[in-house]
Amino acid sequence: MKDKLSLLDYYKLVLPDIMQDEEIQKWLMMTNAHDAGAQKPLDKMKLFIEEAEVTIGLLDMKFINKKDTILEVGAGIGLCFIYLQKSGYNVWAIEPAQQDIYSEYTLISKRIFSLLSVDSSQWMSYPIERIVELPSTFKFIFSNFVLEHVNNTETALITMYNRLSNDGTMIHNTVNYNVPYEPHLNILLIPAWPEKTSIVKRALNKNNLWFTLNFISYSEVSSIAKTHNYNCVFRKQTTYNYLERLEQNSEFRKRKKSLYIFYKLLKRTKLLSLTKLIPTRYNTPLTFEIIKK
């Protein structure tokens, strides 16, 4: 693959081949799309591609050598893994999909690997705790909207930190439940007690995704980093950037209709720029880097 081909451009080329496959279409129909609004197989695939672009955006590729070992945690249906491998990077991936929630991800990824002639020897379908079994340490570990689903945030971060090489970096983008908003389900939460929201919104008690959430927050990550003396840096203005994505991406806007109304209100009242001043503690998504020294 050409070095300068972006992830979006790459998938524009191969998407027709992927979507002609009946097995992939069937499994896409079965998936619980991780965002509201995507129902048809093609729409779901476009959503996965769009999120893969955001995931790749966590990495500053100009500082990554193709000999560096990279690990994606929560690799979904494998789109970032495929793109990085086709671009010549030494990439590994794990997908800790939970049964009956994202179990189709493994089936879809294996089928795409076959269609696109991908070497899947560095792709693993197991939980974060098992990355200790991988025969390598990693210069970069990254994840996008994964940490809110792990059983124990502290255990997950310790496990990944221990697999970083010297001067290695892990970069994570997740939900900050210090803010009473749940982006997967596009709902407001009870402030300070987000897990209690299901008492008021009883339909959540029948939602499988709801039971995977651990309500990670800035407060928790900051506390873990302090306890273990991790060099942790939180990115600023993530709320502003998330809202700006509504303006830039029509598909994202379709899936976030209520949030887009709020965005338009902020923009009309010229208050949007004030979201840049929100303290990191109250920014969501929560994006942070931990560097091993």
- HSE-CB at 191 with a 13 A cutoff on CA atoms is 2
- Residue 97's nearest CA partner among 123, 115, 118, 71 is 123
pLDDT at 219: 98
pLDDT at 225: 98
User: Across the strands, what pairs with 286?
Assistant: 174
Q: How many helices (H) and strands (E) does the chain have?
A: 11, 9
Q: Which two tokens stand for residue 35?
A: 């965002």
Q: What one-letter code names the amino acid at 268? A: R
pLDDT at 98: 59
pLDDT at 79: 98
pLDDT at 35: 55
- The answer to whether residues 254 and 37 touch, using CB atoms and an 8 Å cutoff, is yes
Q: Which two tokens stand for residue 194?
A: 């987000």
pLDDT at 101: 63
Is residue 81 packed enough to be buried (19+ CB in 10 Å), middle (13-18) or exposed (0-12)?
A: buried
Strands of the sheet containing 123-124, edge to edge, are 123-124, 90-94, 69-73, 138-144, 164-174, 286-291, 231-234
Taking CA atoms, 198 is separated from 92, 184, 186, 209, 220, in Å, by 37, 15, 14, 12, 22
pLDDT at 254: 87
- The answer to whether residues 185 and 36 touch, using CB atoms and an 8 Å cutoff, is yes
pLDDT at 1: 72
Which segments in the chain show pLDDT lower than 70?
A: 2-3, 32-38, 98-101
Domains of the chain (ranges, CATH numbers): 7-237+278-291 (3.40.50.150)
Q: How far apart (Å, rounded) are the C-alpha atoms in residues 32 and 44? A: 9
Single pTM value for the model: 0.94
